[in-house]
Structure 1
Amino acid sequence: MPRLTIITDAWHPQVNGVVRSIENTNRELKSMGVEVSMVTPEPFSSIPMPTYPEIRLSLATPGQVGRLIQGQRPDYVHIATEGPLGLLARRWCLRNGQPFSTSYHTRFPEYVAARLPVPLSWLYAYVRWFHNRGGACMVATESLRQEMAAHGLKNLCLWSRGIDTERFHPRAKSDKPFGLPRPIFMTIGRVAVEKNLPAFLDLNLPGSKVVVGDGPARAELEARYPDVVFTGVKHGEELASAYAEADVFVFPSKTDTFGNTILEAMASGVPVAAFPVTGPVDIIPRGSKAGALHENLATACLEALKCSKEAARELAESFSWRAASQQFFDNVVEAKEQRRRRGLRQRFGIRPAETDKLRRQGADQSRDQSEATA
């Protein structure tokens, strides 16, 4: 049974797309026969991240992280985040000759620059430094792959996402959900500056607006928009029921790398309104009746009211966690192979094309031997 260790700074009690993606992928990998172990912030002391206290930064030492990874005896290592644990895991892998893959879940440079006076060019230099030593850097969409390649990232590969269509599904709608008149325009997620919520909350729309979630910007936005209902965080069945009450799901973010909430809304039979940016453009095809994308978010919201809940549900059903998890594991395996090829090139001066030729010859020889002994 192959053993995989995943290192992540994002874990419970955080509620976000990174945590949900890792949880769902782990579940599928285990059913596929992969032994998954984790290195998370849970065993370490931590401090709140400046300007975002809900996120804790682990106070771990190189030795602690190294011993955890080594004790799990992994065949493969995946570093999911660029935080303290990710940095220490990267250091251990490089010092011990352990191939590893990484993933680019969030727009780290933009998120930091929104909170601290750090130039984007410095932050992208850090992202290149962090990810380019791995054998594979996974991104969620093709448009993001092209964008990150333009920023100098290498070994980019796709890792899509899935959706739990049993939990999130269409339901009968209440006449006045949350005590509000319809239509209900809803957004769900972290209430934070990078989510661009004022672009939605400032709109003059019919009916009512609802924000589900919590975060550092909630108190300021509640005071600024007294007519908007802020419900706080919802989980499980309560969250799924909230999705299904919406008439339109509004996704105002311009910085997300995918948008898991888009899939959850569509699986609930709710059309989506969004800007035509990375994430929405990769999920909702041009001309689809599952939602509306427009540079004017108000236009997208009104067009989404006319879209089809059946089309939204059908599109969501095309995203499978099993397929996404197989894609993830294929990338993890390729990252190790990429490191082996790189070692051959460095040791013997073999060019990349020659390395691939050797790999194909080895596969051909193995196949011939199998046929000879059959």
Structure 2
Amino acid sequence: MSSILIVTDAWHPQINGVVRSLERTAEELEKIGVRVEFLTPQEFTTLPCPTYPEIRLSLTHRGIVRRKIEDYGCEHLHIATEGPLGLLAASVAKKAGRPFTTSYHTRFPEYVSARLPVPLTWSYSWLRRFHNSGCGCMVATRSLEQDLRDRGFTNLMRWSRGVDEQQFKPYEGSVLPADLPRPVFMYVGRVAIEKNIKAFLDLDLPGSKVVVGGGPQLDSLRREYPGVHFTGSKVGEDLARHYSDADVFVFPSLTDTFGNVMLEALACGVPVAAFPVMGPLDVISDTGAGVLSEDLREAAEAALDIPREHCRTIAMNYTWAASARQFLDNCIEAQDIHNARTTQGKAAE
């Protein structure tokens, strides 16, 4: 396979795991000779998503999306998100009898239910129809795969994640204010209600709490927790240096499907404290690089004793090269599934 078109509603200016995963996958695929193109909201007139203004919703229709897909002329179509572009692209592909894969990055039903009185069963029913209509749905972890399989999702394929070990590594020196008491417990990620950040901020911990990231809940949390140090969004080496300056990385989310930030923290030599839920169970588990507990305070304090060298060693098991190869193999397998179905259909006629 020499070319892949990725359709995604999640794109810049968003800074999140979906965007970073897609970009790094594309970089690694191009290194092995695969042309990767992106169809994103940047090509359309957009409106801000309610409660998520940095998420841009594309204003377009199926005919335009169909022409753009045709113009890119790629062998395989991968739909990364279930937003307006993803839905239109799937509709175009199904009408043309074209194979495509999808990926399940976000526990969208849980995100919706955190804001609106929408039953989880309704959201999962809609998502199941969307993802089952393709030739493969890529998921990051074993626990997510099992959860979706139990909910009736089919054609599930594993697509793990990686970490940039050159950027995310232990750094010398401090970037945080010198008067912040130690130890430093840090959260990195979107500052939004579904990330369950208050579960971290409400903990009675020694030292200091630091929140790195931006999002719709940032201003309200700053007002509610004046004793917490909020840095705003950080990227590149600056982000890596902030990770490296922490003593424990606290991951309070109950809804993430993976949690790239955990790998980034580990690569910087920072142990993880989290709840024993999907994501942390897959990344941390029994590696000894973190502590999982229903008592997040207990986990955070226990993680202080974990050697930083061990954390980085565990993170090095994840590479973007391996992740990209797994993604490509899934695309090839999906094409084979489509060809087999087509052959069977013709034979039945």
Q: If the length of structure 2 is used for normalisation, what is the TM-score?
A: 0.97
Equivalent residue, structure 1, for 2:234: 234
Q: How does 1:188-203 map to 2 (within 5 A)?
A: 188-203=188-203
1:344 to partner: Cα distance? 2.9
Deviations 1:174-229 (A, max 9, x none): 39646311100000000001100011000000000000001111111111111001
Equivalent residue, structure 2, for 1:94: 94
Residues 214 and 342 (structure 1), Cα distance of their counterparts in 2 relative to 1, 3 Å cut? same
Q: Which amino acid aligns with 1:109?
A: P
Supply the distance in 1 between the matched residues of 2:74 and 2:84 (Cα, whole angstroms): 20
Deviations 1:294-341 (A, max 9, x none): 111001101100111111000001101000100000001111111122
Q: Secondary structure at the residue paired with 2:43?
A: coil
Q: Which amino acid aligns with 1:97?
A: G
Q: Which amino acid aligns with 1:30?
A: E
**2:327 paired with 1:317:** no
Equivalent residue, structure 2, for 1:9: 9
Equivalent residue, structure 2, for 1:306: 305
Q: Which amino acid aligns with 1:159?
A: W
Contact 2:144 2:278 in 1 (8 A): yes
Equivalent residue, structure 1, for 2:60: 60
Question: How many percent identity over aligned positions?
Answer: 55
1:63 to partner: Cα distance? 1.4
Contact 1:289 1:308 in 2 (8 A): no
Equivalent residue, structure 1, for 2:79: 79
Supply the distance in 2 between the matched residues of 1:102 and 1:153 (Cα, whole angstroms): 12
Equivalent residue, structure 1, for 2:142: 142
Number of residue pairs the alignment of both structures matches: 349
Supply the distance in 2 between the matched residues of 1:335 and 1:272 (Cα, whole angstroms): 35
**2:329 paired with 1:330:** yes
Residues 175 and 219 (structure 1), Cα distance of their counterparts in 2 relative to 1, 3 Å cut? closer
Equivalent residue, structure 2, for 1:209: 209
Contact 1:177 1:245 in 2 (8 A): no
**2:345 paired with 1:341:** no
The runs of 5 or more residues in structure 1 that have no matched partner are 351-374
Contact 1:51 1:115 in 2 (8 A): no
Q: Which amino acid aligns with 1:96?
A: A
The runs of 5 or more residues in structure 2 that have no matched partner are none
Equivalent residue, structure 1, for 2:292: 293
Q: Which amino acid aligns with 1:135?
A: C
Supply the distance in 2 between the matched residues of 1:266 and 1:79 (Cα, whole angstroms): 30
Equivalent residue, structure 1, for 2:160: 160
Q: Secondary structure at the residue paired with 1:5?
A: strand
Supply the distance in 2 between the matched residues of 1:198 and 1:228 (Cα, whole angstroms): 11
Q: Secondary structure at the residue paired with 2:37?
A: strand
Structure number with larger C-alpha Rg:
1
Equivalent residue, structure 2, for 1:33: 33
